[in-house]
Structure 1
Amino acid sequence: MPERNSDFGRFGASGVRGSELVGRKLDDLAGGIATPVTAKRGLMARLNYLTRSEHARQAARDAGLTVTDRTLKAWLEGKRRPSAKNLKKIDDAYRVGRRQNVARHLLKRLNANGGTRVEIHPLNQSGVARPLQRDVPFRHMNVRRWDRIVGAWAAGDHHGLDAAWTDDILPDLGSQYGAYEYCTNVGFAA
Structure 2
Amino acid sequence: MPERTQEFGKYGARGIKGYEAVARRLDALAGFVVTPVTVRRGLLARLHYLTRTPHARAAARAAGLTVTDRTLKAWLDGRRNPSRKNLERVETAYRTVRRHNVARHLLGRLNREGRGTRVEIHPLNQSQVPRPRQRFVEFRALNIRRWDRIVAAWAADDAQALDDAWVDQIVDLGSQWGQYEYVTNVGFAA
Tell me, yes or no, whether TM beats 0.5. yes
Pair 1:184 & 2:184 matched: yes
Pair 1:103 & 2:110 matched: no
Structure 1 gap segments, 5+ residues each:
none
Q: How far apart, in 1, do the equivalents of 2:128 and 2:6 lie?
A: 18
Q: Deviations over 1:28-47 (max 9, x none)?
A: 00103121111111111100
Checking the alignment, whether the CA contact within 8 Å between 1:5 and 1:178 is kept in structure 2 is yes
What secondary structure sits across from 1:185 in the alignment?
strand
| 1:147-166 → structure 2 map (5 Å cutoff) | 147-166=148-167
Structure 2 gap segments, 5+ residues each:
none
Checking the alignment, whether the CA contact within 8 Å between 1:121 and 1:185 is kept in structure 2 is yes
CA-atom RMSD, angstroms? Answer: 1.2
- Report deviation, 1:59: 2.7
What secondary structure sits across from 1:96 in the alignment?
helix
TM-score by length of 2: 0.96
Checking the alignment, whether the CA contact within 8 Å between 1:153 and 1:161 is kept in structure 2 is yes
Query: Aligned AA for 2:144?
Result: V
Partner residue of 1:50? 50
Query: Aligned AA for 2:125?
Result: N
Partner residue of 1:14? 14
Partner residue of 2:125? 124
What secondary structure sits across from 1:65 in the alignment?
coil
Partner residue of 1:31? 31
Q: How far apart, in 2, do the equivalents of 1:159 and 1:66 lie?
A: 27
Checking the alignment, whether the CA contact within 8 Å between 1:30 and 1:99 is kept in structure 2 is yes
Checking the alignment, whether the CA contact within 8 Å between 1:15 and 1:123 is kept in structure 2 is yes
TM-score by length of 1: 0.96
Checking the alignment, whether the CA contact within 8 Å between 2:63 and 2:97 is kept in structure 1 is no
Pair 1:138 & 2:134 matched: no
- Report deviation, 1:15: 0.3
Checking the alignment, whether the CA contact within 8 Å between 2:125 and 2:183 is kept in structure 1 is yes
Checking the alignment, whether the CA contact within 8 Å between 2:60 and 2:97 is kept in structure 1 is yes
Return structure 1 stretches of 4+ with deviation > 6 angstroms.
none
